[in-house]
Amino acid sequence: MPSLIAVVLTYNEEKHIQGCLQTLQFADDRLVFDSFSTDDTVALATAIGVQVVQHEFDDYASQRNAALEAVKDKYDWVLFVDADERVTPALAEEVRRVIELPENVAWGIPRHNYLFRKLTLGAGWYPDYQTRLLRVDRVHYDESRKVHELVICDGPSGRLQNHFIHYNYRSLNQFMQKQRQYSSYDARILADQGIRPKPQNYILQPLRQFRWRYVELGGYKEGWHGLRLSLLMAYYEFVKYLKLRQFSRT
């Protein structure tokens, strides 16, 4: 049978790490690939017998490539799981089944995202496929994509039916902090591509973002929750273009 290791990338995930690792016992092995956490993440992982490797963090793509390199000589497949995600028994069973199939080298997994403790199926948060089940020797991450990582596959990929459970942003403050980070990443990517903001971008792009999420992606079906998320994402589209202007001047 093909061998499978579940890998969790971590930095200061003491609130989540043991809950996540408990759902990964179906794998042949588990690995915490840590970026020198300063909390109890490492101690909590080792306390339940999970191996920890520490590796300096540069960006998400290179960190995942480093994890692939660390496991490539011993395992056939890797399942990447974030610390705030959980694998259900149904997903675990499906993962074990599909890695025995010969055709695909990667599988996308849908997520049930809980935002502000509410399951969110509209405004672009579902099905939110994540390409996380990978043939170790047939994939790598595009390191030009520092965030929202892109998997490069030497072969076909497929999609699973069962879901990750993702305990995403629990508070408005956490959401806004993360979106500020993402807006900086995305603005830097645009700047590196030579894109410069136009005056209309500061108005039209946020409006398009709001319409896309609230109308086209069904945010209106979520009531006030969907309206708030759509407005927030429109605001951070505006912030992204402000940061693009700043980067373009440096």
Give yes or no: residues 55 and 131 share one domain: yes
Give yes or no: residues 18 and 133 share one domain: yes
What's the pLDDT band for 250 if we cut at 50, 70, 90? confident
What's the pLDDT band for 28 if we cut at 50, 70, 90? very high
pTM exceeds 0.75 for this model:
yes
The parent domain of residue 139 ranges over 4-167
Q: Which CATH number fits the domain that encloses residue 25?
A: 3.90.550.10
Q: Name the domain count of the chain.
A: 2
Give yes or no: residues 124 and 53 share one domain: yes
Give yes or no: residues 201 and 143 share one domain: no
Give yes or no: residues 241 and 210 share one domain: yes
pLDDT tens per residue across span 142-166: 988 777 889 999 999 999 999 999 9
Confidence (pLDDT) at 35: 98
Confidence (pLDDT) at 158: 97
Q: The tokens of 247 are what?
A: 């980067």
Domain boundary among 151, 167, 183: 167
Give yes or no: residues 212 and 193 share one domain: yes
Q: Where are the beta strands (DSSP E) in the chain?
A: 4-10, 29-34, 51-54, 77-80, 85-87, 106-109, 111-115, 118-120, 130-135, 139-141, 151-153, 157-159, 164-167
pLDDT tens per residue across span 113-147: 999 999 999 999 999 999 999 999 999 999 887 77
- Cβ neighbour number for residue 184 with a 10 Å cutoff: 17
In the predicted model, what is the mean pLDDT of residues 88-101?
98
Give yes or no: residues 228 and 132 share one domain: no
Domain boundary among 133, 167, 201: 167
What's the pLDDT band for 247 if we cut at 50, 70, 90? very high
Give yes or no: residues 77 and 185 share one domain: no
Q: How far is CA 183 from CA 18, 178, 186, in A?
A: 30, 9, 5
Give yes or no: residues 149 and 179 share one domain: no
Give yes or no: residues 50 and 145 share one domain: yes
Domain boundary among 167, 189, 220: 167
Asked if residue 244 has pLDDT above 80, the reply is yes
Helices 224-248 and 172-192 sit at what angle, rounded to 10 degrees? Answer: 40
Nearest to 206 by CA among 188, 176, 230: 230
Give yes or no: residues 69 and 153 share one domain: yes
Confidence (pLDDT) at 180: 94
**Mean pLDDT in the chain?**
96
DSSP string, 147-188: SS--EEESS-EEE-SS-EEEE---SHHHHHHHHHHHHHHHHH
Give yes or no: residues 39 and 79 share one domain: yes
What's the pLDDT band for 246 if we cut at 50, 70, 90? very high
Nearest to 44 by CA among 12, 87, 7, 4: 12
In the predicted model, what is the mean pLDDT of residues 206-215?
98
Which stretch of 25-29, 57-61, 150-154, 227-231 has the lowest confidence by average pLDDT? 57-61
Asked if residue 184 has pLDDT above 80, the reply is yes
Confidence (pLDDT) at 129: 97
